[in-house]
Amino acid sequence: MSDNDVSGPLRHFRIDRRTVLQSLATGVGAAVFASQASAAHVHQAAAAAEAPALAKPGDTHVFLDGHAFDTLALLSEQIVPGSRAAGVPEFLDRLLAVETTDTQKHVTQTLGAFERVARDAHGMPWKALTQEQARTLLTKISTQPDTEPSRRAFDGLKAAVAESFYSSETGMKELGWDGSVTFAPPRICG
């Protein structure tokens, strides 16, 4: 199956081996790959730990550890307001649990890229930034040339968050759907 045959919000993170190697060679992914090499084991231990401050009561993380989930939740809300209430971070976390190892690594790298930008600019993780600091960094990242690794990370995350949000009931209502129109199952259409 080629990348063009794959659908869903995380298709924006599917990359070929050459792209991974180029990312590692530029240094953006190197530190993240090294620190996240055992992410599959870390998230299990983190799930047993105390719930993170941003988690809603009863939330469980299927793939991401608490820190990565909090970062995803904040970025989701900052990129598409209302994403947190619509359950976008939880949806993406659950989707990641059944994704390929390559896609899981790429999403982890993406979150790591945001962490690196925050630490380079302010000496703290993304989730510790003020709203103004985060907005300034997102503006800076989103206006970089699309050849920059942090811009590619932003574009991939933005696409996944937006697609997930606007596919949810909340997002569809924001687009004007009032719930009065439903679509017939394909077998009835013809």
Give per-residue pLDDT as tens, 57-86: 455 789 999 999 999 999 999 999 999 999
Q: Within a domain: residue 42?
A: yes
Q: Within a domain: residue 180?
A: no
Q: Within a domain: residue 58?
A: yes
Looking at 28-142, list the stretches that DSSP marks H as alpha helix, in order from N- to C-terminal side: 28-35, 39-48, 66-79, 88-97, 101-122, 131-142
Q: Which two tokens stand for residue 24?
A: 């590692």
Q: Within a domain: residue 13?
A: no
Q: Determine the pLDDT at residue 185.
A: 61
Q: Within a domain: residue 92?
A: yes
Alpha-carbon gap, residue 37 to 42, rounded angstroms = 9
pTM above 0.85, yes or no: no
Per the prediction, the chain carries an average pLDDT of 76
Give the domain range for residue 157.
23-171
Place of tokens 């930008």: 117
Q: Residue 9 CA to chain centroid, in angstroms?
A: 9
Q: Within a domain: residue 95?
A: yes
Question: Residue 43 gets which letter from DSSP?
Answer: H
CA angle, 175 then 164 then 36, to 5°:
155
Domain count, the chain: 1
- pLDDT bracket for residue 14 (50, 70, 90): low
